[in-house]
Amino acid sequence: MSGRPFAPRLPGTELAALVTEAVDELTRRLAQDVAAPADSHNALTDARQRALVHLHVLGSVRKAIRHLEDEAARAAAANGATYPEIGQASNMSRQGARRRWPGLVTGRTTHPTTRPTPRSS
């Protein structure tokens, strides 16, 4: 790896808890904005409708996150990050990052595949 290794300030579990809380709050607000008005005042129907709209919004968030991850991986590679660094930053192995983003990181140096044969004098 070149440069400084990736080192988050917060432990993964603490960051995950903060992200979960923020995403839950955001998606619940978005669900309120996109929900169709309820046809009846049946509490069970209203609760089911809210849960389904929330689920729908979470699916859209998952797609958006995937797109944003792709953009961030491209930006990291464009700025010299390697597959091991991209994998670590995205919580996957180097091989996982290579499978997810094939061709993203290209070789920066060439390594000869064969050694030159010595000349006889």
pLDDT in tens, 46-105: 888 889 999 999 999 999 999 999 999 999 999 999 999 999 999 999 999 999 999 999
What is the model's pLDDT at position 45?
77
pLDDT digits (tens, 9 = 90+) for 7-48: 677 777 898 899 999 999 999 999 988 876 665 566 667 888
Q: What angle do CA 18, 77, 17 make, to 5 degrees?
A: 10
Query: Quick one: pLDDT at residue 113?
Result: 43
Rounded (5°) CA angle 36-28-34: 25
Q: Which residue has the tokens 């929330």?
A: 54
Between CA 45 and CA 58 the distance in angstroms is 20
